[in-house]
Amino acid sequence: MANTKVVLSGWELDNPVIGASGTFGYGKEINNFYDINILGTFSFKGTTKEKRFGNPTPRIAETPMGMINSVGLQNPGIHDVISNELPELKKFFNKKVIANISGFSIDEYIYCSKIIDKEEQVGIIEVNVSCPNVECGGMAFGVDEENVYKVTKAIKQVTTKPVYIKLSPNVTNIVSIAKSAEEGGADGLSVINTLLGMRINLKNGKPIISNIMGGFSGPAIFPIALRMVYQVSRSVKIPVIGIGGISTAEDVIEMMYAGATAVQVGTANLKNPYACKEIIENLPKVMDKYGIKNLKDIIGKA
């Protein structure tokens, strides 16, 4: 029988399929379609110190084989997540969750990470230093080696749970950024966040998205994400979660061959809310097709 279990920093997951932050909310919406306990886990919506409305609309632009979004980290704020969202989540999700944290200063990253670290429901803290949709934060940290090192080190000094740094692909050399995170004490890496893209409305000649540019995601970026996971996983000694354009069980296996210990499924959920469920159900069948008995055995074997 195919063994789909994987281990992230001592945390054993039933399978490597994780709902990606920003596409899974805090679990309630997708749980209306199916029991999300079948997931390895999921990463909840990017959360900041204060409540954020996000960017002005329009925020979404369609594109072949993907989409561009500029939501801008809309969220209820860290204290609301702890007092309302996590207790609500506990009613229907019996596994630990990945807490996705974002900020606009090192102090804000420290603040949010320190208090979410105390929550029993949180298994991993995923630090978003790579969001391209907000000014004066997110990607401003993720494109600079020194900043990534400083943010990682500062967070590790106030937390006890594993810390995974979510890296931006919008850099000259993602390997050097990954090494900076590892040197700062990161327990793992999430690779990659969205690329920077835009669309123009031909009827008026203006950008479709109010913020002009946004995060480009979907199947079109899969080969880029795969390449970066391959490069990063061979340059560090910590686990990598592969993200970017994954929509099938075959994609999961390919990403794991490249070096990912687990994967996150994002944009596919917005097109098909059953995407993760279908991938999980198909995974053992695809493993059998390719003679794979244990997923752990193929990690980084490309």
Tell me which residue has tokens 């997110």.
138
Q: What percent of the chain has pLDDT over 90?
A: 91
Q: What percent of the chain has pLDDT over 70?
A: 96
- Quote the pLDDT of residue 131: 58
Hey, what domains does the chain have and what are their CATH numbers? Answer: 6-53+73-198+216-298 (3.20.20.70)
Measuring CA to CA, which residue among 217, 212, 211 is closest to residue 194?
217
Q: What are phi and psi of 204, to 5 degrees?
A: -125, -5
Measuring CA to CA, which residue among 156, 127, 158 is closest to residue 141?
127
Catalytic residue ranges = 131
Quote the CA–CA distance of 285 and 233 in Å, as a whole number: 26
Separation of CA 270 from chain center: 15
pLDDT band for 133, please (50, 70, 90 cuts): very low
For residue 196, count other CB atoms closer than 10 A to its CB: 16
What does pTM read for this prediction? 0.96
- Quote the pLDDT of residue 130: 67
- Quote the pLDDT of residue 90: 97
Q: What are phi and psi of 121, to 5 degrees?
A: -70, -15
Q: How does pLDDT run across 138-193, given as a tens digit for each residue? A: 456 678 899 899 999 999 999 999 999 999 999 999 999 999 999 999 999 999 99
pLDDT band for 300, please (50, 70, 90 cuts): very high
Query: Longest Cα pair distance anywhere in the chain, in angstroms?
Result: 57
- Quote the pLDDT of residue 143: 80
